[in-house]
Structure 1
Amino acid sequence: MPKTGRSRPFGAPPPGSASISFTLDEVDLPQEMEPLNSFVDKVSDDGRRATRVFHKLDPPSPVKATRRAMQNPPPPPPLLDVPMAAVADDNTEESYTMLLDAEDDDEDVAEASTEPLADNPQNVTDQAMQEWSSEHRDGFLRVLLWHDGRKGMGDRGCRRCTQSSPAQYRCADCGDELVCKTCCCAMHEEHPLHWIEMWNGQFFARVSLKSLGVRVQMGHRPRERCSAPTPAYSDFTVLHLNGIHSVNVDFCGCHLRQDAFYIQLLRRGWYPATTTSPRTVATFQTLDTFHTLSLKGKITAYDYYGTLEHLTNGSGVKPPDRYKSLLRERSQANFAVRCPACPRPEVNLPPDWQSAPPEMQCLYIMFIAIDACFRLKRRMISSWLKDPGLGTGWAYFVEWMWYRDYLASTGVQKEISTCTGLAALDHANTKFSRGYAVTGVAMCICARHEFVLPNGVGDLQKGERYANIDYIFASVLRHISRLLRLMLSYDIACQWWKHLKERLLNLPPLIRLSLVFAMIRFVIPKMHIKAHTLACQLLFSLYFALGSGQTDGEGIERLWAMCGAVAASTKLSGPGARADQLDDHWGFWNWMKTVGLAALLRRRLDAALLEREKQEAAFAHFSAQQADRVPAWLAMVNAFEAPRTDDGPEPLNPYEATVNGLNEDQVRKTLEADEARELATGAPRIHDVSPVTFVTLGLDIEEMQRKIRVQNELQRAESTTRKINLADMRRDLNKSIQRLRTLQATYTPGALVQLAAINVPQDVMAEDVPLVLPSDLAPTHRRTCANILAIEQPLREAQCRVAIAQLRNQLHIKARLLRYKKNHSRHQAQNTRSRGVINRNESKVKQRADKYQACRRALCNLRGTEPDAFPELRKRDIRCMDDVPTPTSEAVDRVKEARRSKREAELGRESDDDDVRGESRRVASWIWHGTGAADSDMEEALRVEWCKAYARVRRWREEVLILQEEWRRLPISLQYEADRWKHRASSVSDPDDATAEGKVAYGRKQERVYLDLIHRAEITRTEKKLKRGFSRRTRAASMASDENNGGDETEGSEAEDGRGDVDSEEEEEEDDDALQ
């Protein structure tokens, strides 16, 4: 059938269509009936032509309504926290603004298969590794130790030359054939970046080719010497794949020279750091390897350079040795490295340590910190039967079989928290675990030096349950003497210690023990305790714990930061491989702590001596001013710290201030009792509702208005999942307001006069209706209701006291909730639940803050003056205890200007701006100091402050004593380890056997490492303390002496201070400037 017409394109208007359009400018005309410009498009029948005809049309109703709204805009809505002004308020900018939590990025967790049950027969995934572990482990170890010796060659001569030179040298890179010194140098003229080892009679010690006299000629062919060489700098350094080398370099200076020095280096394959007078180069292979690692492994230049340093020398000294490389490898026999500064009876304690006087018992306390990390997860991949660890339980992880069986027998546990600050931890038992075999790890460390304790790490299956922590804690105590006192730091110690003794008796026989609580003190880390309740801060504070010194308990958090770098790689590992890898990382952590422990103790002791002097001077001045009160305060402290029986009376806590003033309920009861006495005397009543009931009704309505305003803001921000029926709340509020108006006609008729003058609109919300309570009356209207004003004033004072106490409590909870969400909420469901809890708490913070501000304004109106007992609450005052005030823009500008003029400013000059403070000068908000105290209560405030100052002085005195004792224990513990290696080396049965010789050499090498640590620790301890900005340039200690290493020892080119820390280039430049 033929088409009768041409089809229209898609979207084209039909013939004769009409359209009406208008712009926003036309809508925004001042006249409501102004016509609109419209047009009609007419299309011809053949669809080829279109004609547009314009018309004037009357505006439709939506346009007219929009124009009316624009011509008569509604008044702006009232502020949320200020009712429709019955009383002028000049402090609206100080109202608290709720920080409603926003969406976070959540982690995506993929589905995984279920881990097989342990009692089902399974095939080992890696059969070869299982066979090696059970049959060939010792054989491999014997061969590895055999390599440390001369492999049976004894004192034979060199096989490469005809001379009878002793064969004492071997190359660790191109082969381990024993040759003489001459042949060794000849072999390495073209390989100057190899590591050479020399037999010193006991073991092989590493020496450099530079010390043997090998020189590298630039600008000529291999083995061709220059007739006029130009020596490079004596500290010429080459970065290579196997470490950092100091090399003798000669540049070409003869008539054949054609290239600059840096070109000669580039032709050799060495990339110079500078083109003028180069003294540091990196090989092309090194740069290519770093480039690949930075792209694939996201490694930084700092970490890569640190790797080269460890390849050069792993024990923390220069020139290098190979000891640390053995510890860093994934060894099949990795044991725990013990802390050399912690007390160990029969190792580093004096024989009469148990008879120490009470003031010296702090020297013999073992400090243990416990915490959990939920970053070290493991997916449900493989199992212990398929992937057993090579030595799980030999170092830091607990024995997994005993641990697994015990957890299977405990079942589901629900720990109830009675600490308000720990409400967020109730979610720990519901920690997201779907798809994970392990949700994290719990660990025990040495709280003072941050060493991971032996058998002190265990996996968590579902949250931070007491069963896991109990087992790990008991496993650690196997390696600690029962005669030592313990101080246990745990962020939930206030809950965990309850019934701990009974729970430990139910552990397996391997770790079962009975605790003596008189020998244990439970504390909470100094940062975490700020989010606990006031009772926890008084009973579990390290500031008040006898013998704690300046231990903060937060060192384990620094270890978690290190573990975060390996969390991604271990998440997808099998259980055995993961345990071996983490054991290796923690062993390396402990060894680096051992190497740097002397420097750490020196820094701490220097700082403690200065701070003790400052605190003692301040305390002496304070005590002199309060000399008549000090004896009574001191007696109160001694009584509180004295041992007491379980059934004895609880002494008064000298660090706790009693609550001053009555609360709202108490004040109401007092006023109602006064009214009852007046009626009993025959006084007439003017209304069935008493004056006290009238005033309390107004205050209750005012509180209801604050609550509705906050809930309305939550609902508008869509920051809560709860359904809020504001209509019902407003209906009930309107009924209460109507009842209040009836009573105001009797007791405060002036309020109705003021309301008539305000002319409140009919559509105002109930929460914004002005109440005009007695304190809001104008001065002319107050004269007729003096008795009503006298009733409101004590109620307002009580409201201020209660509001500030409630505000402190909500801020406590806020700090804990935010810390919990940051550390533990990892997926969408948890983040949503955490946001809801945080937002509800924010609404309570605002409600309490608004209540205090409103009540204080009412007090100002009632008294006519500022109430001294109740300071003004500003927005910057509403912060948690450990928060710092937000600096003003002017203060920030001043700080920036001071930084720009740093060179012109004097060293050590301090800013006089009180609004910018670091943590060391942080001042807590006044709300944490208490409020509402009368003059008679000032003595109690002085007592609390004096007791805290006394505690600070004693803690610093204890810190100095503890550090001095740790200095005494350090070399003794290192000597103990050196003697153990010496004994192992001397107990080899057959010294003539090649393998036995390797064992002896290995033992002697380890002995020398510990002896060298002792020597360096003594240098660090006795060196002169330098001023700030200066560093001591000393020659690096060598593992072997000059006569042992076979070469001349030269002074290292890098600046190393007396603490064993290598200075950066910026520090060296600052030192040079200071010296000049």
Structure 2
Amino acid sequence: MFAKLLAAGEKAKREETVYSRSVQATSQAFNVDGTLLHTHTHAFERPPPIPIQRPPAPDKPSTPTLPIPPNPPTDTLPEKTVPPEEPLPPLFQDFEAKKASIVDILFKQNTADGLGAPCPCGVAGATRTTMCRECWNYSAACTSCFVKSHVHAPTHWADVWSPDRGFFLRHDISALPGSPGIYLGHGGSPCPNVALGFVPQETFTIVDTNGIHSTKVQFCSCGIGDRAEQLLNARLFPGTFRRPRLAFTFAMLHDYHIHHLTSALPAYDYIAALRHLTDGFFFRDAANPYDQFRDVFKMWRILEAEMRAGQLHGIDRFFPRRPPGNLAVMCPACIEFGVNTTHDEAAISDPSLRRLLFTADGNFQANHYLKTMEPKLISFYRGRAFFPSDPQYRVFAHRIKKDGQGSEQKTTCSYLNAINKQEKKKFVGTDISGILNIQCSHVFVVSTVDLQYGERFLNTDYAWHHAFLQRGLPTLEEMENLTGLFSYDIGCSYRVHALSRFLSRDELRDVADLVAKFEYCVPLVHVSNHKDNCLYLYSSAYRTGAGHFHGEQAEQVWPYSNQFGGQGRQMCNGNRQDLYIDLFNYWNFMKVVLLPAQLYNDLIRAAALKDEKLKVFISHCQSYSDKVPEWNKESREARTVRRKEVCCVYRHTPSKVPSQRRIYQALVDKAEGKGSLVAEEVSDEDDSMLEDSDNDEPRPPSPITLSPKHPKAVPLLLKHSISARDLQQKIMCTHAAYLQHETPTLLTKLKDLRSALNTTLTRLRTVQAQVTPQVAEDIEDINPEIENNTPEELPLFLPSHYTPADRVAKGLVALGTLELQMLEGAAYDNLARLRTVVRLLGAMGSDSKKNDYGQARHTRAKADLINANIKFETCMAQYNATRRAMISLGLPETDPTFKKMDRNSTRRKATTENRAPGDTYQTDGLLWTGDAIDSSNRLTHRPLVNNQHTSTAEAVGTQSSQPRKRKNKAKDKGEEPTSKKSRTGSPVATPLGADPVPASADGEASKDQHGWLWDIKSSSRHVSDKDVDAFLEEGNRVQWFRAEADVIRWQEEWERKLIEFLRTIRHYDKMADVWESLATSADSSPSKAAVAMKTSKHYLELSRRCEDVFRQAGYVYRRPHSSPRMADMTPAASTQQGIDTAADGGNNRAGDSPPTPYGGDHDLPGPAGGHTVLEDDTVIPFIQTARSNLNLTINNAIHPPPSSSS
């Protein structure tokens, strides 16, 4: 029975599907009056079936029929108002106005003036029939004139007018009457050794940027070279060197190379485009030189690489440490001994200044398909660039695999599947699963190797070995103070046996001593996928000398190279390696040109952040002045393991984090104000409404009979006023939550709070009647409706309620002074509670994410978090209300002690959370830093864009916690929810996850005193649980150590960028000198000398621009000996020497003034124009002095001098 029902259901479902498809496939249009205008059936759908009238079956509903709209009367239809179109931008408005004339001009291109008229050449019978659309201002002429005028442009198309057809026909030049050919060897004229009137009969194919030409070529017979040489002299690259019949123009090869590198244009698509340019309609009739083009471009590419690298000039003799025949573009800023370093730098013991920085990363998009009939083409680079010699590398990989030592060590951090449990299925059908790159910290590719079935350590070892050889091995003296940092996404396991692997392999042993100098880290984004222990063992943020080396630079090249993945995996491996070498060389070349701007961004950012982080650190030292001396005795490098967890000064002890319920109970005690300063100053039996406990119930007013001269009359008045003001703010926050969620729990809470407020106001009015009877008339004017329904809107009629003139008139000046003093204490107390609330909220969120699983725990945790967020909003509102009252009593709005508080001001990076990417750019809000920084803009010092027209990749910015997606509307009390069907709604965003709120004018940071909140002593006395107290204390300690690490890391980054700027200038100078020497060498031909001199001037211009950018950063580099080349580089000299930046690829446009050259400090106002002058022998002392000053500042902050008032 069940089977029959199921079959009937499936049949009905199929019928409904057929019907729905028929409805979708039919589109109907109606007239304005509702009548059917037309019905259109899409071509890709079957027409709807003709409906058959049949009675519905009694046991199942009838199938619905296609609804047909009725025909309502025209006069009953509502008028449709068509919204006006948005106006077009001015450019497109002008286009619409000019469209008709533009179209007319475009149509005129299909004809010409004077067609059929006699040709101006005067030859009898010659008429104007031929046009050239590629020559500017070309007038119609006869075919003979066209041939004569195109002797030096034989690949222009000839458009010949056909009177019979009535339009132009496109011809190659050899298809014109007389079959004129292209003559080689004599400037376009026929060879004198060829018989007069000889017409070449051999068809020749020439591929140019405007299409594929089938023409005729006449070679020279004077013995000036074979056919291939004659073609090359005519700037034509032959498709073969044995009797060629096809050639590609140099312009076409260069054009494709640029398009290929910049837009990943495949060769197949480029040739297809040329066929379309040849014949836009019958494009398949054009010749297809794709196969020959691939081979020619492979040869063209290696020739360009050898010319650019100087190998054809013999440049190796100037760089003896580099491998012979090197074709890779090198990084100017990294240490290269003998090129951009000095003897003074060799004696530096600071690890941040003499540190080699490498990153490693694999990419499985650059794989290679396994093919049975693949041609065995090798790479033309033959190990002279990023890839090592392929035969040697394959022998190495095969021997390791044969010895059975290719398996990797297991690790518990393999979130990335880089080592353990790799998915072998994704490598099926490939013999190369991807590539692995070694890069420097400036994102220059240094070396590359192929991967076989995953990412193994042997691949990384060989790539790293090749990277060392590319840069040149240092001497023993140079290695004495040299250090290194190697960033790898699986560095935690790679480092275990790295040195032993290099020592055990003959191919790798020569760099083992250098490997021993290296430490290992994991990139800051990747480390979040590891176990938490890895963050504190291998994060560069907590490693001395690392600076801001985050290690994620290795990822930046992949978006560019992945565009070529589809092309590379189909090539033979030799062509594939040539492809990636060419890509990475172009990537490095762009980095060479734009490196000054990148260094400028890094230097300016580091300078700003090191100062900002120092101010924040000093404010923490002042806040925890009683604890800092003891904390400072702890080791920053120590890492101990307790219960399988790494413990250090930068991490909360995991076992000490209290549970969320205990944190919540302590939060309730603190948020309700138990033990507050005000409550301690006034102890009275009526002091029952300061706190808003979970048992808020209205109490009857107690009779108070106090004389105005009673010693506690005025304090009791002010106490009740502060209590009433706090209750009013809490009612407003609760009412806002009720408007958002509309739960019965919040409504009941509102009624209880208003009842409690009325009780407090009754007590306040009783004391006011005795202390300030002069405000009785104002109290009597209160609207009874407001008093009964919304007492939170009632004024309190205290001195802060009146203007200064009214206070004088009513005699409230003296009381106003006392109120201001009481409000100041209340404001400090509010801020103390708020700080504790924010810290506990962060801990609650962390605990909830880790431990709240299951419906019951999750519901209870959500209820606690919602209530805690309401308490946070209340604390912040109470402080702001107190501050407004103080301003009314005379406190300046710009007072540096009490600033306006908003969500942005309460931001704090949770100390219980691991460090997140982008944390170094985030600074805690004013609640935690006081006046150290301006919290209105937390991204002030992210990477900048300067006038060098470049930018750096922004690091990922994250918050320590995110807003909750849902909110449990449990009761606003501490007990657990009893109903499983608790309604949920949108959450109240936590201060840690809130969106930034622009700070007001009074939130500007003051630079004169320390943080405005750190006069408040420890708030531990307000927390009821000892473990929670210890947890908060440890959070302060972790915050202090992390702040110190931020200061030192950015100081190290600033120091390193200064050195790298100088290394870059030295590198440019070195390359300029080398190329100038190559130009003037005895064995250099005039053509080689011209290329070398042009390249020398390019590097000289780069050096000048780099110095100019360095000056913009505030520094001047003075060379040991002034170079006459630099002094001669004036704009006039640049023009005379051919340094036209527009023609040579510069970014100056016509009419723009070139940058002012700089050849020393003679053009600076004053001794150095306000700039810091650095020389090779003074830059190291300058950096050491800056480091000493920083250490002194930190020491004074930890141990303030006795005379210091701060």
TM-score by length of 1: 0.44
Bigger relative contact order, structure 1 or 2 (CA pairs below 8 A, ≥6 apart): 1
TM-score by length of 2: 0.39
